Amino acid sequence: MQAVILAGGKGTRLHPLTSTTPKPMVNLFNKPVLEHTIELLKNHDIRDIVITLAYKPEQIIDYFGGGSRWAVNIQYSLEDTPMGTAGGLRRIQPVLNDTFLVISGDAVTDFDLTSAIEFHKKKSAIATMLLYEVANPTQFGIVETAKDGKIKRFIEKPKPSEVFTNTVNTGIYVLEPEVLSSIPYDTFFDFSKDLFPRLLQNQEPFYAFRAEGYWCDIGNLAQYRNVHFDALIGKVKLNLSANQVANGIWLGAKSDIHPSVKLSGPCYVGNGTVVRRDASLGRFAVICDLSLVDEKAHITHSILSPKTTVGRNAKIFGSVLGPGSNLPEGRHMDDEIVVHDGTDTIRAEINSELLSPHLTEEIALTWSGLDIAKLMTQDSLSMQTLAA
């Protein structure tokens, strides 16, 4: 089975996170978002992958190479001039010789792709669009279907008065190679604005599949922040590359947490991260790999990217610190993002109203660093007993 990952976007709505990084390479639990997508494809035995690139392609190629690290085969298609979401497919038509999946490289999902492919084949469809229910459909394409799932009508980014459903297009499609004949060569061509209207006009077997699971296109900084929180509460299934050592407490290998530290679940501490005396990691604190949280710092509902340093007595709420950031002693952050682009420090605000409301309402279980050390010792002894 083949897949095409669309990974050419600049991610302007995620600025400043994307000031030096293409959106598919933005960090999510110590991995690029795109790596989570590749892991999902592999889990559904989709191992033959083509990635379309445009913005800063060398970062993606250098990181993923030929895909052997993930036991997949990756090829690349570089677009010097943007070709639109569908236009780039015509250029790689020679390598697409069977049913294939199209998926965005900068969205987060755990959809059952196998079920979608089976549905597509059962319907003998030429194209199948995966749908998902959202609160505000005006930023997406909405779809009207017949009882058998065949698409009757499609409206891209409807006005509020045009909305007839909150089920939207996720940008994930199962396609047959013959659909590519409807795409002109070397022309900017969009799935939603160009290809889909043509399929409907020609009365092609074009279906919709209502997917179960989680999907987020990470359309803004608040959604980027909140998708981490959704993963911590199990709303989306991701490989976090850490162990859950207590209820809601995720720890990476070689993390060093002082016995006096207070941790409230859910929270995440990455590989090789150090949390010093009397610091406090509140609910939804995500501290990525090789970071340092100094004495008496307090962090909650925030994301610290890899190699971040937080000074003594600093307080962080609802914020994001980009890779390699350094927050000085005593500084406070509320609903902000700070990224260093190699020359300057770039700051921006995150809409505090978009913080998931339920994240502030639940009572949290609190553990000390000493409690965690004891639990880890017990787990280690249990593993040694089992090994014996």
CATH code, 183: 3.90.550.10
Half-sphere exposure of 169 toward its Cβ, with a 13 Å CA cutoff?
A: 29
Domain endpoint, select from 186, 216, 246: 216
pLDDT of 322 higher than 70: yes
Strands (E), 211-351: 215-216, 243-246, 249-251, 256-257, 262-264, 267-269, 274-275, 280-281, 285-287, 292-293, 298-300, 302-304, 309-310, 315-317, 320-321, 326-327, 332-334, 336-340, 345-349
Q: Could you give the number of structural domains in the chain?
A: 2
Q: What is the DSSP string of 175-208?
A: E-GGGGGGS-TTS---IIIIIHHHHHHTT--EEE
pLDDT of 363 higher than 50: no
Per-residue pLDDT band for 35 (boundaries 50, 70, 90) equals very high
Q: Is residue 225 part of a domain?
A: no
Q: Which residues contact 39 (CB under 8 A, 6 or more apart)?
A: 70, 239
Structural tokens at position 367: 């553990």
Report pLDDT digits (tens) over 37-56. 999 999 999 999 999 999 99
pLDDT on residue 377 = 59
More confident residue, 352 or 123: 123
Percent of the chain past pLDDT 90, that is, above it, reads 69
Q: Is residue 280 part of a domain?
A: yes
**159 with 70, same domain?**
yes
Question: If you average pLDDT over every residue of the chain, what do you get?
Answer: 89
Q: What is the DSSP string of 88-118?
A: HHHHTGGG--S-EEEEETT-EE---HHHHHH
pLDDT of 211 higher than 60: yes
Range with lowest mean pLDDT among 33-47, 290-304, 350-364: 350-364
Structural tokens at position 98: 């069977």
More confident residue, 12 or 119: 119
Percent of the chain past pLDDT 70, that is, above it, reads 91
pLDDT on residue 386 = 27
**24 with 143, same domain?**
yes
> Distance from CA of residue 8 to its chain's centroid?
15
Q: Is residue 189 part of a domain?
A: yes
**113 with 181, same domain?**
yes
**251 with 176, same domain?**
no
Give the DSSP letter of residue 161. G
**126 with 244, same domain?**
no
pLDDT on residue 74 = 98
**149 with 201, same domain?**
yes
Q: Is residue 68 part of a domain?
A: yes
Let me know how long the chain is.
388
**208 with 327, same domain?**
no
CATH number of the domain that 312 lies in?
2.160.10
**How far apart, in whole angstroms, are the C-alpha atoms of residue 128 and residue 172?**
9
Task: Report the DSSP beta bridge partners of residue 351.
Answer: none
Q: Is residue 229 part of a domain?
A: no
**168 with 263, same domain?**
no
Quick check: pTM over 0.85?
A: yes
pLDDT on residue 353 = 53
pLDDT on residue 131 = 96
pLDDT of 340 higher than 80: no
pLDDT of 167 higher than 80: yes
Range with lowest mean pLDDT among 290-294, 297-301, 324-328, 352-356: 352-356
Per-residue pLDDT band for 358 (boundaries 50, 70, 90) equals very low
Average pLDDT over residues 330-336: 93
Q: Is residue 232 part of a domain?
A: no
**267 with 367, same domain?**
yes
Structural tokens at position 357: 């409301």
Average pLDDT over residues 69-94: 92
Three-class SS of residue 387?
Answer: helix
Q: Is residue 96 part of a domain?
A: yes
**How far apart, in whole angstroms, are the C-alpha atoms of residue 331 and residue 356?**
25
**264 with 181, same domain?**
no
**241 with 192, same domain?**
no
**How far apart, in whole angstroms, are the C-alpha atoms of residue 264 and residue 284?**
8
Average pLDDT over residues 371-387: 50
**How far apart, in whole angstroms, are the C-alpha atoms of residue 208 and residue 228?**
28
Q: Is residue 223 part of a domain?
A: no
Domain endpoint, select from 182, 216, 250: 216
pLDDT on residue 355 = 54
Q: Do 244 and 226 contact (CB within 8 A), yes or no?
A: no
**120 with 204, same domain?**
yes
pLDDT on residue 376 = 63
**How far apart, in whole angstroms, are the C-alpha atoms of residue 47 and residue 11?**
26
- Structural domain range at position 61: 2-216
